[in-house]
Chains A and B, each alone.
Chain A
Amino acid sequence: MSGIDPSRAVYAGMKRAGIDFVASVPCVNLDCLIAMAASDPDTRHLPVTREEEGVGICAGAYLGGKRPALLMQNSGLGNSINALASLNRLYRIPLLLIISHRGGEGETIAGQIPMGRLTPALLEAMEIPRFAPDPSEAEEIVARAAKIAWAAGTPAAVLLEIQFWRGRSL
């Protein structure tokens, strides 16, 4: 155990990146992070019904001058692919994707495994930069991912594995 609270580390990175608008679809592993966003007076948080909807809302928020992030499970990446391409990529709209990556080591739900295995390749195919930090480097890497997203006008994804939430080095 590294002693660093994984959710706090990620949220610190989001704050460092200037994220001030957060849309979320829950995952059990994102529970604390969502609560942090919801209780942050400097951040507009809203729960959304589907990840693709969140991509649209975040794009709108960007057009209005916000720095948005979307919190979701990797299953939601599948729900968002067209929007990430024909909205974000087309207009060069940046977005920070904070993704609970299920289906790997420690997964107990069979249904999570297929999409979990496909997630890195899907991001690769979509030319979305991706990062998979340890808790100890999460703050730094989340901030860097956002920096890349805003510099390049692209979504950037931070994949947080099951082991990440247990505070272990990967």
Chain B
Amino acid sequence: MMKRIEAIAIIAQEAERQDALLVGNIGYPSRELYAVGDRPSNFYMLGSMGLASSIGLGLALARPDRRVIAIDGDGSVLMNLGSLATIADQRPKNYLLVILDNGCYGSTGCQPTCTCRRADLARIAEGAGNEVRIAGTEEELRKGLAERGVLVVKVEMGNAAVPVIDLSPEEIIGRFTKVSLLRASTWKEIVFVPKGSRSIRFQVMTPSSYDEKGIEEPTSLIPSGRWWVTATTLGVSASFRMVRL
């Protein structure tokens, strides 16, 4: 069985690869996420236990063009089980709820939750109408992170020795909304490729970082003309800037 922080590290990696907005559950899960995979597009919940799945759902419905992942826990989901029914009812294509189930209230001293005996969150989520997958290994987790619906991951009890998040609520929401409020139109560009130009090179600008990663090889022939360019592949949104070779 994976440690929770190992699962969180994988989720953080996949979220970055997918350029996903990521909601971290209150307490140690957010602290572990901050320690292993801090990004401005992580929203760290500092209060409102039980609402990670709801915040993620609202975000996914507001931004159907963005991939959204929420990290929740067994204790938190048990506090807001209705959320599983609402998520199933809305079925946003761009949303994945990951439940890290360690069978206890990890942040308060590992008091057992009902999932350590008979309650089965995967079956509850399925009964609520969700597409549900279960992951026990790193490979299953990575595979599940490409999907939508609900992913239940059984993890070991216990917290990693990580510090509290040294960001203020203002900082957390300020840097998060810089990413989450970016509209696709902000980074659509009209591109004109002059006549006679036979190939182009493109640079990818990811909206979260604005890091330009130039792709050196010419990838395709683009006819001359004006182009509105956006792309969404595997939940990765990017704008392409065309450069004449």
Total interface residues on A, CB under 8 Å, equals 33
Asked if A59 CB lies within 8 Å of chain B CBs, one says yes
- Residues A87 and B62 in contact, CB atoms below 8 Å apart: no
Asked if A166 CB lies within 8 Å of chain B CBs, one says no
Q: In whole angstroms, what is the CA distance A62 to B61 when docked? A: 10
Chain B nearest CB, measured from A150 CB (Å): 14
Q: Known contacts being A65-B62, A66-B62, A87-B47, is A60 close to B172, with CB within 8 Å?
A: no
- Residues A91 and B169 in contact, CB atoms below 8 Å apart: yes
Point out the residues of chain A lying under 8 angstroms from B177, CB to CB.
63
Chain B nearest CB, measured from A103 CB (Å): 24
Q: Which one of B49, B50, B58, B89 contacts A60 once the chains associate, using CB atoms below 8 Å?
A: B58
Q: Which one of A49, A61, A62, A83 contacts B83 once the chains associate, using CB atoms below 8 Å?
A: A49
- Residues A68 and B58 in contact, CB atoms below 8 Å apart: yes
- Considering residues B59, B62, B181, which has the most beta carbons from chain A within 10 angstroms of its beta carbon? B62
Total interface residues on B, CB under 8 Å, equals 38
Q: In whole angstroms, what is the CA distance A21 to B66 when docked? A: 17
Total A-B Cβ pairs within 8 A: 124
Interface string of A80-117 (1 = CB under 8 A from B): 00110111001111000000000000000000000000
Main secondary structure of the interface of A (DSSP, over half): helix
Binding stretch for chain B, among A1-9, A28-36, A50-58: A50-58
Point out the residues of chain A lying under 8 angstroms from B61, CB to CB.
21, 44, 46, 57, 60-61, 64
Point out the residues of chain B lying under 8 angstroms from A55, CB to CB.
48, 51, 54
Q: Known contacts being A52-B80, A53-B82, A53-B83, is A63 close to B90, with CB within 8 Å?
A: no
Q: Which one of A47, A48, A57 contacts B55 once the chains associate, using CB atoms below 8 Å?
A: A57
Chain A nearest CB, measured from B232 CB (Å): 16
Kindly report which residue of chain A lies nearest to residue B81, judged by CB atoms: A49
- Residues B90 and A46 in contact, CB atoms below 8 Å apart: yes
Q: Known contacts being A63-B62, A82-B48, A90-B46, is A57 close to B173, with CB within 8 Å?
A: no
Q: In whole angstroms, what is the CA distance A92 to B57 when docked? A: 19
- Residues A86 and B47 in contact, CB atoms below 8 Å apart: yes
Residues facing A in B182-223 (CB within 8 A) are 183
- Residues B180 and A61 in contact, CB atoms below 8 Å apart: no
Q: Known contacts being A44-B61, A52-B50, is A59 close to B55, with CB within 8 Å?
A: yes
- Residues B180 and A53 in contact, CB atoms below 8 Å apart: no
- Residues A56 and B90 in contact, CB atoms below 8 Å apart: no
Residues facing A in B23-63 (CB within 8 A) are 23, 43, 45-63
Name 14 A/B residue pairs within 8 A (Cβ), A-sorted: A47-B89, A52-B50, A53-B80, A53-B82, A54-B54, A56-B57, A60-B60, A60-B62, A61-B62, A64-B60, A87-B51, A87-B55, A90-B46, A92-B173
* Interface residues in chain A, defined as those with a beta carbon under 8 Å from any beta carbon in chain B: 21, 23, 44, 46-50, 52-66, 68, 82-83, 85-87, 90-93
The 10 A-B pairs at the shortest CB distance, nearest first, are namely A60-B58, A86-B47, A64-B62, A49-B82, A56-B54, A56-B51, A87-B48, A57-B58, A61-B58, A60-B59
